[in-house]
C-alpha cells in the first residue's frame, strides 16, 4: 500500500472514530438528561405531595410525619398505581430506584444527626431516669421479640418465603422490637419534649432497642445467607461498643472545642467550614457503623449525640439546615417504601385476619410491656402510659427494617404489607394519645424543661406546641 493511500485510510479511520465517539457522547448526554428529567419529575411530585400530606395531617391533629408516610403509600401501587397504572409506570417505573434510594439514605443520615443533636442526655444523671431507661428498654425488647418470634413461627407456609422458618420468625420478632427513633424524635420535637426527662427516657430506651434490633437484623441476614458465625457476631457487638466509647471519650472533646471556636468566629452562625466538617463527620460515622453491621444511620445519630451539649450550634443548625432535610429528604424515603407496598396483595379474610393479629400483638408487646416497665421504675401512671405509646411508634425504622427483610427474601409481599400497615397504625395512634394524656402530666417532674410549657396542650388541641413545630420545619 502506497504512503498516500495509507495516510488516507488512517485519516478516514480517525474521522470515523471521532464520529462514533461524538455519537456515543451525544447518546450518553441524552441518557443522562433523560434520567435527570425523570428524577426531577419524581422529586417535584414527592416534595409537593409530602407537604400537602403533612398539612392535611396537621389539620386532622396528626403529626406531619404521619401525613408524609400515608402520602408515600398513596403514591405507590396501592392507590396511584391502581387508579392510573400507565401514568404510574411512566412516573415511577421508567427509571430504576437507585437514585431515590441513595437520596433517602442521605436524608436519613442527616435527620438522625438532628435528632441526636436535639436531645439533652443530662437528665440521665438522675438515678430514677437511668433506672427507667433500662427497664423500658429491656421490656421493649423482650416482650415484643417473644410475641413476634411466636407469631412468625405460627404463620402458615403460604405467608412465608423460601427462607428458613427460624430466620423468618426471628425477623418478625426483630421487626416487633423496633421503635422508630427518627419519627419518635420528630414527634417529641413537635410537642416540645426533647429536653424533658420524659423525652430523654423514651429516646434513650428507643436508641437501645434500635441498636439491639439492628444487631438482630445482622443475625437474621447471616442466617438467611448461611453465613452466621458466633465469633463474627460477638466481634460485631464488641465493635459497636468500642465505636461508642471511642466516639464519646476521644472524638467528642476536640469536636466540641472546634465547634465552639467556629461558632464564635462565625458570629453564632453555622459557617461553611463548620458545616463542611460536620457533614463530613456525619457521613464518616455513617460509614463506620455500616462497616460494623448496624446501618449507617446510627452513625448519624451518634454524631448528633456528640454535639448535643452545644445548644447554640443545635439552634443554628436547625435554623439553617433542618427545614430542608425534613421537607426534601424525608418524604423521598416514605415514597420509596410506598412504591413497594401493595395493600391489594392482602386478598381474603385469612390474610387480613393474620394482619389484624400481627398489629394487635405488636401493640400489646410494645405499649403494654413498656408501660408496665415505666410504672415499675417509679414513673406515675400517666407518664408510664405516655412512655408506652411513644415506644410503640415504629414508622420509619420499621420501614427500614422490613425493606431489608424484603430485599433479603426473608419476607414476601403479603407480610411486607402487613408490617407496613402495623408501622402506620402504631404511628397513627401516637399523636392523638399524646394530646389526650399529656394534660394529665402538667406539673409532673417528667415534663421539667419542656419547651412551650406555658401553653399546655388540651385534649382537643389541633396541633403541637408552636415553637417546637416551627423548629422542625413541620
Q: At 15, is the pLDDT very low, low, confident or very high (cuts 50, 70, 90)? A: low
From CA 168, how far away is CA 82, in angstroms rounded? Answer: 30
Chain segment 308-364, per-residue pLDDT in tens? 888 899 889 988 888 888 889 888 877 877 887 878 778 788 999 999 999 999 999
The dihedral over CA atoms of 231, 179, 321, 404, expressed in degrees to the nearest 10, equals 50
Which carries the bigger pLDDT value, residue 33 or residue 443? 33
| The predicted structure's pLDDT at residue 211 | 77
**What's the pTM?**
0.73
Q: Residue 115 in contact with residue 181, Cβ under 8 Å? A: yes
Which carries the bigger pLDDT value, residue 177 or residue 464? 177
From CA 306, how far away is CA 112, in angstroms rounded? Answer: 12
| The predicted structure's pLDDT at residue 135 | 93
| The predicted structure's pLDDT at residue 2 | 62
| The predicted structure's pLDDT at residue 227 | 61
| The predicted structure's pLDDT at residue 388 | 95
Question: Is the pLDDT at 78 greater than 70, yes or no?
Answer: yes
* H or E element, residue 155: none
Task: Classify the C-alpha dihedral 182-188-189-193 as positive or negative.
Answer: negative
Q: At 60, is the pLDDT very low, low, confident or very high (cuts 50, 70, 90)? A: confident
Tell me the mean pLDDT in the region 372-384: 91
Contacts of 336 (CB under 8 A, 6+ apart): 72, 97, 100, 101, 104
Chain segment 286-312, per-residue pLDDT in tens? 999 888 877 787 788 889 989 988 889
From CA 321, how far away is CA 275, in angstroms rounded? Answer: 9
Mean of all residue pLDDT scores within the chain: 82
Chain segment 184-221, per-residue pLDDT in tens? 877 887 788 877 888 888 888 888 887 788 778 777 77
Contacts of 237 (CB under 8 A, 6+ apart): 215
| 3-class secondary-structure state, position 160 | strand
Using a pLDDT cut of 70, give the percent of the chain over it: 85
Q: Residue 103 in contact with residue 324, Cβ under 8 Å? A: no
Pick the CATH number of 98-471 from 1.20.1530.20, 3.30.420.80, 1.10.10.10, 1.20.120.790: 1.20.1530.20
| The predicted structure's pLDDT at residue 96 | 78
| The predicted structure's pLDDT at residue 471 | 35
Which carries the bigger pLDDT value, residue 154 or residue 228? 154
CA R_g for the chain: 25
- How many CA atoms lie less than 13 Å away from 354 in the CB half-sphere? 23
From CA 364, how far away is CA 392, in angstroms rounded? Answer: 9
| The predicted structure's pLDDT at residue 283 | 96
From CA 128, how far away is CA 34, in angstroms rounded? Answer: 58
Amino acid at each position: 500500500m502506497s504512503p498516500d493511500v495509507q495516510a488516507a485510510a488512517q485519516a478516514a479511520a480517525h474521522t470515523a472514530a471521532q464520529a462514533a465517539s461524538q455519537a456515543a457522547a451525544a447518546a450518553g448526554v441524552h441518557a443522562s438528561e433523560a434520567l435527570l428529567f425523570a428524577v426531577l419529575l419524581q422529586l417535584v411530585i414527592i416534595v409537593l405531595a409530602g407537604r400537602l400530606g403533612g398539612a392535611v395531617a396537621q389539620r386532622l391533629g396528626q403529626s406531619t410525619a404521619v401525613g408524609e408516610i400515608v402520602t408515600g403509600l398513596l403514591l405507590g401501587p396501592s392507590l396511584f398505581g391502581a387508579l392510573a397504572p400507565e401514568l404510574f409506570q411512566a412516573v415511577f417505573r421508567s427509571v430504576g430506584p437507585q437514585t431515590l434510594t441513595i437520596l433517602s439514605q442521605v436524608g436519613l443520615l442527616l435527620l438522625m444527626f438532628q435528632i441526636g443533636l436535639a436531645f439533652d442526655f443530662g437528665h440521665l444523671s438522675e438515678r430514677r431516669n437511668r433506672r427507667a431507661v433500662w427497664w423500658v428498654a429491656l421490656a421493649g425488647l423482650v416482650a415484643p421479640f417473644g410475641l413476634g418470634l411466636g407469631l412468625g413461627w405460627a404463620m402458615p407456609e403460604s405467608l412465608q418465603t423460601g427462607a428458613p422458618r427460624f430466620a423468618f420468625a426471628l425477623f418478625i420478632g426483630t421487626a416487633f422490637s423496633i421503635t422508630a427513633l427518627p419519627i419518635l424524635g420528630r414527634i417529641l420535637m413537635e410537642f416540645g419534649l426533647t429536653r424533658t426527662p420524659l423525652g430523654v427516657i423514651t429516646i434513650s430506651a428507643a436508641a437501645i432497642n434500635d441498636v439491639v434490633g439492628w444487631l438482630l437484623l445482622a443475625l437474621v441476614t447471616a442466617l438467611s445467607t448461611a453465613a452466621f458465625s458466633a465469633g463474627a457476631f460477638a466481634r460485631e457487638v464488641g465493635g459497636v461498643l468500642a465505636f461508642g466509647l471511642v466516639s464519646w471519650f476521644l472524638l467528642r472533646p476536640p469536636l466540641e472545642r472546634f465547634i465552639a471556636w467556629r461558632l464564635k468566629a462565625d458570629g453564632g452562625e453555622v459557617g461553611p467550614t463548620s458545616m463542611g466538617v460536620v457533614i463530613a463527620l456525619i457521613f464518616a460515622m455513617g460509614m463506620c457503623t455500616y462497616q460494623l453491621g448496624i446501618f449507617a444511620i446510627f452513625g448519624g445519630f451518634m454524631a448528633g449525640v456528640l454535639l448535643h451539649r452545644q445548644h447554640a450550634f443545635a439552634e443554628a443548625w436547625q435554623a439553617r439546615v433542618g427545614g430542608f432535610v425534613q421537607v426534601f429528604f424525608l418524604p423521598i424515603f416514605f415514597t420509596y417504601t410506598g412504591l413497594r407496598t401493595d395493600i391489594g396483595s392482602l386478598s381474603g379474610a385469612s390474610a387480613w385476619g393474620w394482619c389484624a393479629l400481627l398489629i394487635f400483638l405488636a401493640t400489646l408487646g410494645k405499649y403494654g410491656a413498656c408501660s408496665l416497665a415505666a410504672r415499675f421504675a417509679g414513673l406515675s401512671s400517666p407518664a408510664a402510659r405516655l412512655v408506652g405509646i411513644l415506644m410503640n411508634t415504629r414508622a420509619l425504622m420499621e420501614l427500614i427494617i422490613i425493606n431489608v427483610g424484603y430485599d433479603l427474601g426473608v419476607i414476601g409481599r403479603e407480610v411486607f404489607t402487613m408490617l407496613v400497615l402495623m408501622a402506620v397504625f402504631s404511628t397513627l395512634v401516637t399523636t392523638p394519645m399524646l394530646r389526650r394524656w399529656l394534660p394529665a402530666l402538667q406539673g409532673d417532674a417528667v415534663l421539667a424543661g419542656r419547651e412551650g410549657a406555658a401553653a399546655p396542650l388540651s385534649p382537643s388541641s389541633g396541633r403541637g406546641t408552636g415553637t417546637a413545630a416551627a423548629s422542625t420545619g413541620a
